[in-house]
Amino acid sequence: MTTANHSSPDNHPPDELLIGYSAGSLPLSQALCISAHLEHCNTCQRKLQRLNLVGSALMQQLQPSPTSARLKSSILDQLDNLIEEQTPPPSGTDSSVPRCLRQFIRGGYHNLNWKRVSKDISRIELCRDNNGARVELLKIRPGGAVATHTHLGDEYTVVLEGSFSDEKGLYQRGDFLRRDHNDRHTPVATHDRECICLAVSEGPIQLTGFFSRLLNPFIRRTHAG
Amino acid sequence: MPLENRINSDPNAVRNTYHTPMSTTVKKPAGGGESASLGVCMRRVAKHRDKDAFAKLFDHYAPQLRAYSLAHEPGAGLVADELVQEVMIRVWLKAGKYNAGLSSLNTWIFTLARNCRIDHLRRNKRYVTTIDPADIFNDIEDENPGPFQQAQISRIEENIHAGLKELPRGQAEVLTKVYLEGKSHRQASVELELPLGTVKSRVRLALKKLEVLLTR
């Protein structure tokens, strides 16, 4: 099947997203996906380091704006009373959960209150972003398939455990995918183990199979809710 | 104001624009020697909790941080002072975590400033989400072993500084929108009245010229 390919070819976030991450302008839900990917990817970490150097150089080239002596002395006066808040990692945190997700996942993936949505798939919503994007985890049974679908908005996915494939390739732990309305895909988990993904969707998905299409009105309703 | 003008501006003009009765002297941009001495200050702060060294860091970075905040919210002096305070306090508290082998001091300060800006936007309800930016941005750059050596970082940094001066005005303008004003590509395209594709390609071209993005 040929569709316009707007996604990154090699399982990494497109540069545009890394730039937004570095500049601090990405919606936090997208930043969450980038962060989960970065923990696994030295290539993107290195690129991010270079992008941060650009931000830093631009900041240095701004005309400095003088600060008041009062601000300086007030900050210096505070120093002795400052105590760094040490937030110890919550006990029982599973080290295989990316750091950026531990705010939502206290134990491991298996302690979560998964909701089964089909024979092969369970999901749990972690939160919503300001732009309405839904941040969730999806769990696909070994060999299980997600109904063929397209997206009304962009969807960002990071593989956290296991692996899956779709029409475009195989995605393994740490891999990042962006899919938009041009992409129709049918993700299938590999047979050896279940697959857990972080998924951020900015609009409801649109099922394209004949029978599953009948479910679309329900999906739209759950996304709006 | 176009970036080129800022870069080549006369230091006296800076004072005239920003002079207030309480202002302190404006520092010149860091040269090699100065950044080395800032590194020494940083180590003193980390190891000896040296307040004089911290005051030197403040004198150098606070005016930059204030300018960074004003680029995003022009005229918002209180917000800018708040950002200066937040960042400088983090510098004091996190001094022990700063790793010179991971990033230059300038870049570390930039990432702190960026994180504080995001946090500020969130606290002021422009972000109502429960996602905590501290967990997204703070740890990776601080703790993971850095793929670059210090010498490499300095070389790339010098390239970027030199390259920025050579950038065509249009490319410098989009980089400013994206990095300093914190605009998305889409917002930049609206404000600059340019097609989205043009904004994206200018950003890419600029970053390629700075040798930050390599051609795939």
pLDDT at B11: 41
pLDDT at B148: 56
Residue A34: CB atoms within 10 A of its CB come to: 26
Averaged over A151-174, what is the pLDDT? 89
Domain formed by A107-224, architecture? Sandwich (2.60)
Instruction: Answer for the pair A56, A162: CB distance below 8 angstroms, yes or no.
Output: no
pLDDT at B16: 37
pLDDT at A222: 63
Beta-carbon contacts of B2 under 8 Å, excluding residues fewer than 6 positions away, are B169, B172, B173
Domain ranges of chain B: 3-147, 167-216
For chain A, what percentages of helix, strand and coil (3-state, to nearest 5) are there? 30, 25, 45
Nearest-by-CA chain A residue for B130: A127
Nearest-by-CA chain A residue for B127: A130
Q: Which residues of A touch B179 (CB under 8 A)?
A: 22-23, 54-55, 58-59
Q: How far is residue A57's CA from residue A48's CA, in Å, rounded to a whole number?
A: 14
pLDDT band at A210 (very low <50, low <70, confident <90, very high): low
Task: Give the pair of three-digit tokens for residue B204.
Answer: 């890419």
Q: How far is residue B190's CA from residue B184's CA, in Å, rounded to a whole number?
A: 10
Averaged over B41-61, what is the pLDDT? 95
Helix residue ranges, H only, B19-132 = 32-48, 51-72, 77-94, 105-123
Q: Which residues of A touch B104 (CB under 8 A)?
A: 53, 56
Out of B26, B66, B178, the one facing A23 most closely (by C-beta) is B178
Beta-carbon contacts of B111 under 8 Å, excluding residues fewer than 6 positions away, are A52, A55, A56, B103, B137, B141
Specify the pairing of strand A169-171 against strand A155-161: unpaired
Over 80: is that where the pLDDT of B147 sits? Answer: no
Out of B23, B70, B183, the one facing A25 most closely (by C-beta) is B183
Instruction: Answer for the pair B173, B181: CB distance below 8 angstroms, yes or no.
Output: no
| Chain A nearest C-alpha distance from B179 (Å) | 5
Q: Which residues of A touch B135 (CB under 8 A)?
A: 35, 99-100, 102-103
* Check whether domain B167-216 has CATH 1.10.287.1770, yes or no: no
Helix pair angle (A28-38, B133-143), 10° resolution:
30
Q: From A113, A156, A109, select the one nearest A131 (Cα to Cα).
A: A156
Cβ–Cβ below 8 Å for A20 and B184: yes
| Chain B nearest C-alpha distance from A225 (Å) | 16
Query: Which of A5-9, A170-174, B21-25, B34-38: highest mean pLDDT?
Result: A170-174
Over 50: is that where the pLDDT of A42 sits? Answer: yes
Q: Which residue has the higher pLDDT, B62 or A2?
A: B62
Q: Which amino acid is at A59?
A: M
Q: Which residue has the higher pLDDT, A53 or B139?
A: A53
pLDDT at A202: 84
Q: From A16, A23, A132, A13, select the one nearest B183 (Cα to Cα).
A: A23
ipTM of predicted assembly, 2 dp: 0.81
Q: How far is residue B90's CA from residue B93's CA, in Å, rounded to a whole number?
A: 5
Cβ–Cβ below 8 Å for B111 and A52: yes
pLDDT in tens, A50-102: 899 999 999 999 999 999 999 999 999 999 888 766 665 555 667 789 988 98
Cβ–Cβ below 8 Å for B18 and A32: no
pLDDT at A207: 61
Which option is the CATH number for B3-147: 1.25.40.10, 1.10.1740.10, 3.30.750.210, 1.10.275.10? 1.10.1740.10
The region, left, alpha or beta by phi > 0 then psi within -120 to 50, assigned to residue B61 is: alpha
Residues of chain A with CATH 2.60.120.10: 107-224
Over 50: is that where the pLDDT of A163 sits? Answer: yes
Over 60: is that where the pLDDT of B17 sits? Answer: no
Q: Which range among A19-33, B121-135, B163-177 shows the weakest confidence by mean pLDDT?
A: B121-135
pLDDT at A88: 59
Q: Which range among A1-10, A183-192, B31-40, B154-163 shows the weakest confidence by mean pLDDT?
A: A1-10
pLDDT at A52: 93
pLDDT at A23: 94
Q: Which residues of A touch B24 (CB under 8 A)?
A: 66-69, 72
pLDDT in tens, B177-201: 999 998 999 999 999 999 999 999 9
pLDDT at B98: 86
Specify the pairing of strand A205-207 against strand A176-179: unpaired
User: Chain-wide mean pLDDT for chain A?
Assistant: 84
pLDDT band at A19 (very low <50, low <70, confident <90, very high): very high
